[in-house]
Structure 1
């Protein structure tokens, strides 16, 4: 055998006999993930966080140009109240006589500086509107999420345990009605029954007039009425705030509660048919324990993964809910400014709602990755 042949044979035998992970052989994908598991989560979180920027930018751009289809904001808001010369002067002062792309770049520059413009109907800075009314919407969505979980999780468990029996069929019909009924119709029905008919709960608002006067005396108030009432330690205020929040929260939470019910039912049925559940059942573990201790957590993972989308749906429903119950949040103000065709205010509010949705999706993705590491890859 020649020297070249012996060298080739030696290299082949060395490569075949080298242990996995040496320089002669690339490490297996599982081994790479095992060594860099922490990096997988960090990279996942970083990517999801960076996606917030293009998401908000795209939506802000779409809203900006859609608002300009019907003309400039000054003409839209004040066209019937000013003469043509006055309109032209106001348009020139605001810079709306410049090319559209220049207006867009100026708007982006203002957003980066925290300047979202000033409304044309009441001359209020949009940033002030966001800070004054954003807390009310966040509080309402939080209440609605609690209602949705309180409805969807236990009823979904009951539907799974009574699969294909009368309670299951009734709960599935209830879930369909929950997410198919318009939120404003549910709100009006709840007001008619519990406010007008029975007189148990207030018709509208976040708090009574007397409670609002008391809240005005708080130093450094928060945007959340319930938190301020707890800070004061006044049970009458706590009851006042909670009673005003019941009907709006239920009206907004029923829709998502129906979706959660179906998700919990479907996933719990699949979990209850897993081999480890059959093994526990054969050892005499009670069905109630199997449902609450062994099958519930896997069934909740899909709820976590879709929570961001549900929050987006709740923010959309908040416009109708806040208008129905005169709950003065961003949704209520958005409806008012849309009616007045004040597009500067509409742009700012929609952009803030987009930021809330994007951040909520980011947080939900991180929680889902912590609960189920498979979503990182």
Structure 2
């Protein structure tokens, strides 16, 4: 008998008190549901985690060969400062006269052992630079995400609430301006208004000179000034850190906040038109409660999904933001090393940013899978 047939027919016989006349009895069985293959949160997380490694490998490979497309790093960094014989001697010492594939293999081996090379301009291990300035960029991105959520979610809800009315039109124009305005231009405008004209916020840096002295007393600092100030319990230092972070966070956060605003508005409008929302509305549930309690969470799923891409954009914008505000992070250091043509340092910093983006996207995928089970399949 076919195991997947929808009906099973059983012949009843007259023997043993069966139905009279030997009539056939048709017993209807529901078709068995096939188990969904590939499901399960743990399997989904494992697959996403394993995908990080080929992603990083591809990024490392691209960065390496693109950097070498302009020639060897020593010629790029020191060309014109040394005589041709000195330059060739330095190239031979560093091993850049060997075949490119051999250099690539040595670079991969070094990366696997935590060796990203040494800068040519200041002779510092690239790994030390990543440790010292990576926390600064991470802190700036976190502050900017707080600004983005504080702007995008409530204003997106407000725009959806007043759909096709003047508040909606104003907020949509604001969102377009927010993500269309260049970060460096917005940063300069904010500095002119709040630092030069009003004099209420600092113009540059992560903390004041006095704050730097206080930070130097911390044992095993995390590099995140906000967290270190909390560890010390110094309210004056904490206020100093936050004052320096306000303008860079706003300049970078508005870029992402404008995207979040449009996404929340569009998805909230679509969610509010769903049948279960209409059913709740017919029972007398208020519009504000419908938006906050019933429609907001489904509307936030696309926002969380694109968060990884927005963080990647924030890291790109961090280069301009940190340069504008002289923020001590990887973006600022990257701009300095690019001007000096120190491609070994540039290669290490770009690769670290790529690793951060891959890791953040992995975390975002997990959050999206926890909120929306459909993502796992």
Tell me the TM-score normalised to structure 2 length. 0.91
User: What is aligned with 1:237?
Assistant: 237
Structure 1 unaligned regions, length at least 5: 1-10, 19-24
Structure 2 unaligned regions, length at least 5: 10-29
Aligned residues: 356
- Choose which of 1, 4, 28 in structure 1 pairs with 2:33: 28
**1:158 and 2:158 matched:** yes
Q: What is the CA–CA distance in structure 2 between the aligned matches of 1:145 and 1:14, rounded to whole Å?
A: 52
> Residues 270-309 of structure 1, C-alpha deviation per residue, up to 9 Å, x if partnerless?
1111111111111111111111111111111111101100
User: What is aligned with 2:22?
Assistant: none
Q: What is the CA–CA distance in structure 1 between the aligned matches of 2:2 and 2:50, rounded to whole Å?
A: 46
Q: What is the CA–CA distance in structure 1 between the aligned matches of 2:341 and 2:31, rounded to whole Å?
A: 63
User: What is aligned with 2:147?
Assistant: 147
Q: What is the CA–CA distance in structure 2 between the aligned matches of 1:28 and 1:90, rounded to whole Å?
A: 69
Mean alpha-carbon deviation: is it higher for 321-330 or for 41-50? 41-50
Secondary structure of residue in 1 paired with 2:69 = coil
Q: What is the CA–CA distance in structure 1 between the aligned matches of 2:369 and 2:82, rounded to whole Å?
A: 56
Higher helix share: 1
User: What is aligned with 2:173?
Assistant: 173
Q: What is the CA–CA distance in structure 1 between the aligned matches of 2:43 and 2:276, rounded to whole Å?
A: 33
After superposition, residues 1-377 of structure 1 pair within 5 angstroms as 11=1, 17=8, 28-29=33-34, 32-33=35-36, 40-377=40-377
> Residues 93-126 of structure 1, C-alpha deviation per residue, up to 9 Å, x if partnerless?
1100000010001000000011000000100000
The Cα of 1:17 is off from its aligned counterpart by: 3.3
Secondary structure of residue in 2 paired with 1:51 = helix
Q: What is the CA–CA distance in structure 1 between the aligned matches of 2:133 and 2:127, rounded to whole Å?
A: 10
Q: What is the CA–CA distance in structure 2 between the aligned matches of 1:361 and 1:280, rounded to whole Å?
A: 35
Secondary structure of residue in 1 paired with 2:40 = helix
> Residues 164-199 of structure 1, C-alpha deviation per residue, up to 9 Å, x if partnerless?
000000000000000111111110110010100111
Q: What is the CA–CA distance in structure 1 between the aligned matches of 2:121 and 2:32, rounded to whole Å?
A: 65
RMSD over aligned Cα atoms: 1.7
Q: Are 2:4 and 2:31, in contact at CA under 8 Å, matched by a contact in 1?
A: no
> Residues 344-364 of structure 1, C-alpha deviation per residue, up to 9 Å, x if partnerless?
001100110000000000110
Q: Alpha carbons of 1:270 and 1:232: their partners in 2 closer, same or farther (altered >3 Å)?
A: same
Q: What is the CA–CA distance in structure 2 between the aligned matches of 1:12 and 1:136, rounded to whole Å?
A: 65
Secondary structure of residue in 2 paired with 1:116 = coil
Q: Are 2:4 and 2:32, in contact at CA under 8 Å, matched by a contact in 1?
A: no
Q: What is the CA–CA distance in structure 2 between the aligned matches of 1:311 and 1:74, rounded to whole Å?
A: 33
Tell me the TM-score normalised to structure 1 length. 0.91
